[in-house]
Amino acid sequence: MATVRLTAAEAVVRYLAAQLTEVDDEVVPLFGGVFAIFGHGNVAGLGPALQRHADQLPTFRAHNEQAMAHAAIAYAKTYARRRMMACTTSIGPGATNLVTAAAVAHVNRLPVLLLPGDVFASRRPDPVLQQVEDFSDGTISANDSLRPVSRYWDRITRPEQILQALPAALRVLCDPVECGPVTLALPQDVQAEAFDYPSMFFRRRVWHLRRPPPDQRALEEAAAIVRRTGRAMIIAGGGIKYAGAEKALARFTARHRIPVAETQAGKGSLPADHPFNLGGIGVTGSAAANRLARQSDVIIAVGTRLSDFTTSSRALFNHARLIALNVAGFDAAKHDAHALVADARLGLETLSKTLGRWRTAPTWARKAERETTAWQAVVDRATAPPRRGHPVTDAQVLGAVNRAASTRSIVVGAAGGLPGELHRLWRAEDSMSYHLEYGYSCMGYEIAGGLGAKLAAPDRQVFVLVGDGSYLMMNSEIATSIALGAKLTIIVLDNRGFGCINRLQQATGGEPFNNLLSGPPAIDFAAHARSLGAEAHHVADIPELEAALRRAKLVRHTVTLVIETDPAQSTTAGGAWWDVPVTAAPRTSRERTAAGEYARALQPRSAR
């Protein structure tokens, strides 16, 4: 058997460079590159290995480990999990900085390969710089903190172990069910050790999306459930996009006249102007979607985790029969659903074939179209520019950005009040145009996520909508975007603090406390962005923002626009209840009011 002598680090890099995938009928590298912040633990091992293979596996330097992992996750999300990136860090704070990003990937079922350095496997010089010592377990290091947020975790203590560990890692990263973050902890001494690896280990391999079909009996039972009603609706989740099932969904909807509501991850599965696209579902959903959900007899949930924001804390459609079409049995079995475990595209196609000529009731289809039209009028009003002298709202800002966005644009957002406004009001042109991280609702994802989206789709304009709170948490990748020539258009909505949580605080009976900034410092976000290399401007109102957005299209590098918005206002149309417990021992009139409203919300529907 032919062998090649390599260090473990060289073998890891060469193996990753040999992995390929198919995107739009073209075979391309599976890994778009490696984000690396070098330190002791990876600079002497993976560092030279990455340098030698830079032509096959590009290396990108970021400014924050959590942010670079966010960018890698956004890259995979933009590619609908067809391509991905790896991230390598030093052994201490660099490694633990990955934990939050790994949780983002875990919750959102997105692939990212984490390669943190680790302490010496030999333990010869223990304890080393940055080593986290466990007083009762000598095998523990900082990297063990990544165990609960990794779908697969391994520590490589001998160079030959990668012969099993790397194929196991790739199986998880490329599997539609198990997909999520993988951590391979690489002790710094093992990275530099050599081994005679079989040459065949580094052969090129093309990974293809696995599409499990539905069980025939479960399929027939699902069809029988649907046929018994004239009032059905679909909830489109992120699984639609990851299965490439957008066209199958459109055909299913047209053939059976079933209206569609979208989760945050599924938004854009149908174009915003589709007559049966009801808009967002749940807590941040449209009035159209939530009204029909309450009146539906059957809900077909496709590719969604059915979180509390989607189900309105299990209150929105608990009266209806639920069919969960999902590639993961774990998700398909939730909420006492009829589980239809299958790839979303195959599942929709085979269910449609089994249903045959069945359609929803004509009155139901007409009602869906009327509700959709009425909701679009609500969106128009909410996103229109304000009257002169009125404070600017988040909705009006995103309306201006939406109007400026071309059909080849991507909007990126994450936490705070913006995801709710975007879910209700943003008009998504296609499945790639709407990129929200709301599974983990991670503040700080926005700018880094925009960078990852731009690296994955360099021909698209990327708009990042970020609140001042999230901007202050993580903004370093503005500098990375400048260094990589990856232009972003960043809109900072400054409402002087955490406006979304301030509103929730008051809605649950509390007084405004510790959320909004009432005094100095007055932060000059434009000056800060300029210091990182961006072109940046403060705009006073919507007309100025619209003019600045037009100018931004002509700039070749990252542009940051800052506008002040009203922290007290959000879109009141649409939405649904969200279970956030309030005090059971109220002392103020506001607390007593909130406690009464909460008690009424918990009552069964029949008792209201």
With helix as H, strand as E and coil as C, how does 499-544 read?
HHHHHHHHHCCCCCCCCECCCCCCCCHHHHHHHCCCEEEEECCHHH
- Determine phi and psi for 234, rounding to 5 degrees: -110, 140
Any idea what DSSP says for residue 341?
E
pTM for the complete prediction? 0.97
Residue type, 450: G
Kindly compute the dihedral angle of the four CA atoms of residues 371, 376, 381, 383, in this order, to the nearest 10 degrees: 140
Say yes or no to pLDDT of 538 above 80: yes
Which of 99-108, 432-441, 484-493, 566-575 is the least confident region?
566-575
Token readout for 277 is: 């696209």
Share of the chain above pLDDT 70, in %: 99
Say yes or no to pLDDT of 608 above 80: no
Tell me the pLDDT band of 603, cut-offs 50, 70 and 90: confident
pLDDT digits (tens, 9 = 90+) for 250-276: 999 999 999 999 999 999 999 999 999
Strands 205-207 and 194-198: unpaired
Nearest one of 327, 182, 357 to 245, comparing CA atoms: 327
Kindly compute the dihedral angle of the four CA atoms of residues 347, 181, 464, 503, in this order, to the nearest 10 degrees: 90
Q: Which residue has the tokens 């984490």?
A: 114
Alpha helices in 510-565 (DSSP H): 525-531, 542-552
Say yes or no to pLDDT of 607 above 50: no
pLDDT digits (tens, 9 = 90+) for 570-588: 898 999 999 999 999 999 9
pLDDT digits (tens, 9 = 90+) for 8-42: 999 999 999 999 999 999 999 999 999 999 999 99
Say yes or no to pLDDT of 99 above 60: yes
Strands 194-198 and 3-7: antiparallel
- Whether residue 127 has a cis bond before it, omega within 30° of 0: yes
Rounded distance between C-alpha atoms, residue 99 and residue 107, angstroms: 12
Nearest one of 277, 270, 279, 324 to 302, comparing CA atoms: 324
What average pLDDT does range 498-505 have in this prediction? 86
pLDDT for 605 equals 56
Residue type, 461: Q
Taking each helix axis from N to C end, the angle separating 98-108 and 65-78, rounded to the nearest 10 degrees, works out to: 20
Tell me the pLDDT band of 140, cut-offs 50, 70 and 90: very high
pLDDT for 506 equals 87
pLDDT digits (tens, 9 = 90+) for 357-366: 999 999 999 9
Rounded distance between C-alpha atoms, residue 214 and residue 222, angstroms: 11
Strands 559-564 and 535-539: parallel
What average pLDDT does range 207-233 have in this prediction? 97
Q: Which helix (H) or strand (E) holds 411?
A: strand 409-413
- Whether residue 512 has a cis bond before it, omega within 30° of 0: no
3-state secondary structure 348-400: HHHHHHHHCCCCCCHHHHHHHHHHHHHHHHHHHHHHCCCCCCCCCCHHHHHHH
Kindly compute the dihedral angle of the four CA atoms of residues 540, 546, 550, 553, in this order, to the nearest 10 degrees: 80
Token readout for 401 is: 């950005």
End-to-end CA distance of the chain: 75
Q: What separation in angstroms does the CA of 240 have from each of 216, 281, 301, 529? A: 21, 15, 10, 36
pLDDT digits (tens, 9 = 90+) for 458-497: 999 999 999 999 999 999 999 999 999 999 999 999 998 8
Say yes or no to pLDDT of 344 above 90: yes
- Asked if residues 210 and 175 have their Cβ atoms less than 8 Å apart, the reply is yes
Tell me the pLDDT band of 110, cut-offs 50, 70 and 90: very high
Nearest one of 44, 61, 106, 57 to 85, comparing CA atoms: 57
Helix (H, G, I), strand (E, B), or coil: what is residue 319? coil
Rounded distance between C-alpha atoms, residue 79 and residue 410, angstroms: 13
Residue type, 562: V
Say yes or no to pLDDT of 169 above 90: yes
Give the largest Cα separation in the chain, rounded.
80
Q: Which residue has the tokens 């649950």?
A: 508
What average pLDDT does range 172-185 have in this prediction? 98
Share of the chain above pLDDT 90, in %: 91
Domains detected in the chain? 3-207 (3.40.50.970), 216-375 (3.40.50.1220), 384-564 (3.40.50.970)
Say yes or no to pLDDT of 76 above 70: yes
